[in-house]
Copies of this chain bind each other. A is one copy, B any other.
Amino acid sequence: MKLKAEDLAGMETRARAAFVNCLSGFKSANLVGTRNAEGKTNLAIMSSTVHLGSHPPLLGLVVRPGGDERHTLRNILETGVYSLNHVHSDFIAAAHQTAARYPSETSEFDEAGLTPTWEDGFAAPLVLEAKVRLGMELREHMPLEVNNTHLVIGEVVLAEVPEGSQRSDGSLDLVAAGSVALSGLDAYHEGVELKRMAYAKPGMPPRQI
C-alpha cells in the first residue's frame, strides 16, 4: 500500500495519528516523573525518548504542548530535573493510564496506582515499580517551531538498573529487565532477542556475537 503526502493529509485525524505514530518503528515506553515548585508530583507516559550521546550521557525527550505533557514540561523547566522510568510488562495498564488528562490538582501516581520513590539530593520522583530508573538534569530546552513541540535535553545523573542485568561488555539486557516496546499509540510488546551483531567493519562479513 502506497500513501503520498496528499493521502496522509486526507486521512481522518484519529486514523492519521494512529498510522503516523507507527511509522518510526518500535519505540521506548518511559514514565516521566516530575514535581512542580510546590511539590505536587506528576507522571506521564512518553514514547519519545531518544539517545543523543554517551559521554556525557544525554537523552532527548520530545514533549508536545497540551494535555498532561504540559504539566511535565512546566515542571521540568521549573525544577530542572525529571526522571525516566522504563515501563515493564507487569504494569502496562497503570502506565498507560497516566496518559489521561487529569486536572493539575491530582497526581497521576495516585490515579494510576504507582508509587513515587525519592533519591537523596534529587528533586524529582522516580517510579518504585520500574526496574530501570534514570535521574535526569535538564541541559537544554529547544522549542521546535515546525510544529510547536519541545525538545528537552537532559543528562543522566543517576541510573538504577536490576542486579545482574548488565552484561560483561557494559550493555544492559532489556529482555531480562522486562522493559516493553511501544508501537503507535497503544500497543505494548515484549522483546525477544534474535541476534547480537559484532561491531561492523569494512572488509569483514557481519558476525553474530
Give residues in A with beta carbon < 8 Å to B.
Answer: 1-5, 8-9, 11-30, 47-60, 62, 64, 84, 86, 89, 92-94, 96-103, 106, 111, 132, 134, 139-140, 142, 144-147, 149, 151, 153, 155-163, 165-167, 169-172, 174-175, 179-181, 183-202, 204-206, 208-209
On whether the beta carbons of A55 and B158 are closer than 8 Å, the reply is no
A44, chain B: closest CB distance, angstroms = 11
Interface centre among A57, A98, A142, A196 (most CB of B within 10 A): A57
How many chain copies does the complex carry? 2
Contact of A14 among B29, B170, B192 (CB under 8 A): B170
Query: Of B30, B52, B192, B197, which is within 8 A of A144 by CB?
Result: B52
CA distance A175 to B53 in the complex (A): 29
A27 contact set on B, CB distance < 8 A? 26-28, 51
A23 touches B132 (CB 8 A): yes
Among candidates B9, B26, B93, B153, residue contacting A191 with C-beta atoms closer than 8 Å:
B26
Report B-chain residues with C-beta under 8 Å of the C-beta of A18: 167, 169-171
Interface of A is mostly: mixed
Q: 8 closest pairs, A vs B, by CB?
A: A15-B170, A25-B28, A189-B191, A20-B54, A26-B181, A22-B172, A18-B170, A93-B206
Check if A193 sits within 8 Å of B187, measured CB to CB.
Answer: yes
Chain B residues within 8 Å of A2, by CB: 158-160
